[in-house]
Amino acid sequence: MQSACRSWLTPYLHHRSLCRSRPTIQQFLVHFQRSKHSHAPSAPFRPLAFYALHALPETSLPSLESNIRNQLQKLDTVGRIYLAPDTGIGGINAQLSVPVHQVSAVQSVFDTLPQFNGISFEYNYGMYDTEKPSFRTLKVLRKPHVC
């Protein structure tokens, strides 16, 4: 049993902070628990997701796309947003990583878009805030269907 566990743990056993000799599994587990809980993240980013099925005219997509991109870049938000025209299953689908202090501002961006007038978004938040954003950049893409 111990040799099977050791083969699975081998990549982790050569960590710099462990001693140079091969540690036992118990030593590894103690080290792993310490490093895992050694500091609490500052949690500056909050995962945010939402979607809405709504008929979006194809002609309104270029201005909607640039409007969303410009406003969210000012709020340091990253993630991906899919926009689909009414020729397919139209609407918006978004997965974002938002600075915690900007969450209400990001929500107001989407709540005030004229293309979604009368639509109330149900925002879903991640279970945990994160120290780093979940995405590298902001992408606003057009798709044939939202789903």
pTM of full prediction above 0.75: no
Burial of 77 (0-12, 13-18, 19+ CB in 10 A): buried
Domain ranges of the chain: 2-36, 45-142
pLDDT at 37: 43
Mean pLDDT, all residues of the chain: 82
Give yes or no for a contact between 17 and 31, defined as CB atoms under 8 angstroms apart: yes
Confidence of residue 111 (pLDDT cuts 50, 70, 90): very high
- Residues forming a β-bridge with 93: 51, 82
Reply yes or no on whether the pLDDT at 21 is more than 70.
no
What class is the 45-142 domain?
Answer: alpha beta
Task: Tell me how far apart the alpha carbons of residues 86 and 138 are, in angstroms, rounded to a whole number.
Answer: 24
Select the more confidently predicted residue: 41 or 51: 51
Task: Tell me how far apart the alpha carbons of residues 83 and 91 are, in angstroms, rounded to a whole number.
Answer: 6
- Average of pLDDT values for 75-98? 95
pLDDT at 48: 97
Identity of residue 115: Q
Put residue 31 in one of left, alpha, beta given phi > 0 → left and psi -120 to 50 → alpha. Answer: alpha
Reply yes or no on whether the pLDDT at 10 is more than 90.
no
pLDDT at 36: 45
pLDDT at 33: 53
Helices of type H across 14-135: 25-36, 61-74, 103-111
Instruction: Identify the three-state secondary structure at position 128.
Output: coil
Give yes or no for a contact between 88 and 145, defined as CB atoms under 8 angstroms apart: yes
pLDDT at 19: 47
